[in-house]
Structure 1
Amino acid sequence: TLPRASLHLLTSAVFIVELLGSWDPEGVRDTGPWLCQPAPRCGDQPYNPLEQCCHNDTILPLNATQLCVPNCIFYPCFRHCCLESLGSQNQAVVTFKVPGMKPDCRSSPVSRICAQVSL
């Protein structure tokens, strides 16, 4: 039999291993919690919403910019470019994207009006 001190040491070691996590048969420790929700997808590709967004089925970095009309740059991860016709005037309007909703030029809050052009 093992001396009492060795038995306590062995019991403590097993307890510490259990606290640190489970071990697989090859001896590699499980290093993290299981995800509770699947990663968001853009088309068939997963992406990290802390670093990227999905814009028109394309994964973009959050700081990506695009041209709405000449001299009107916007961030497609956060805003949407709308081209509107108002009678004889056309205008480009950048609206805010509402999280969880498809961009809608009519109901999204306006960020800025870029240009007005006569027809």
Structure 2
Amino acid sequence: MRRQRVQSGTEWEEKVGYSRAVRVGNRVFVAGTTATDEDEVVDGDAYDQTKRAIENVERGLTEAGASLDDVVRTRLYVTDADDWELVGRAHEEAFGDVRPAATLVEVSRLVDPAMCVEVEVDAVVDEHGGE
């Protein structure tokens, strides 16, 4: 099966050996994505960072021929589980009626101390126009 790789151009993809997103058939997997803008972490609280991370996820999905509407699973990694309401609000605003299966997990830290959330998604693209 053909594999389509989507790169965002960050230095980390080359250093670590990963792709922002990979599409195989009608499935799209988006790697853990943070609130970065041109390799700098966006200032803001967990809501702002989640919103930006999801926007970055959306770019990867689009390049792979998918959209937020195709997302069936999200994973949210946070450095403080008490931020769940802020993270949840940004998630709900982005996914609304899509309502993917979701997991939120507290981790001890992310790769940059300024990061407080990382988002990962799986999507299934309906290639035939029906459900």
**Higher RCO, Cα 8 Å, sep 6+:** 2
TM over 0.5: no
TM tier relative to shorter chain: under 0.3
Please identify the structure whose Cα radius of gyration is greater: 1
Return the TM-score normalized by structure 1. Answer: 0.24
Relative to its length, the structure with more strand (as a share) is: 1
Return the TM-score normalized by structure 2. Answer: 0.23
